[in-house]
Amino acid sequence: MREPTALYLVRHCQATGQEPDAPLTPSGEHQAEQLAIFLQRFMIGRVVSSPYLRARQSVGRLSFRTAICSRGCCMHWKAGPVSPPGRH
């Protein structure tokens, strides 16, 4: 029997605004580092984030610490309708 899959949902860290290219503030960068430290103890197999800069920066440190992106598992989604599996 397979182990259940855990799903962790995280809102982006503190950013300078809500625009797609708004970066994290210095406080948000610290939050991202703390998030990475906290989450690296779990067996994270995939990171999914929005394409917005603040979201990518929020999970970027976790991806770097665990080498998830270098294994080709770092994924980003784009807003829009979602098709059921097998339908494109």
56-69 tens-digit pLDDT: 999 888 877 776 65
27-85 tens-digit pLDDT: 999 999 999 999 888 888 788 888 899 999 998 888 777 766 533 444 444 444 444 44
Q: Is 24 left (phi over 0), alpha (psi -120 to 50) or beta?
A: beta
Q: What is the DSSP letter of 38?
A: H
Q: What distance in Å separates the CA atoms of residue 44 and residue 81, rounded to the nearest whole number?
A: 26
Q: What is the pTM of this model?
A: 0.72
Give the number of other CB atoms < 10 A from CB of residue 65.
14
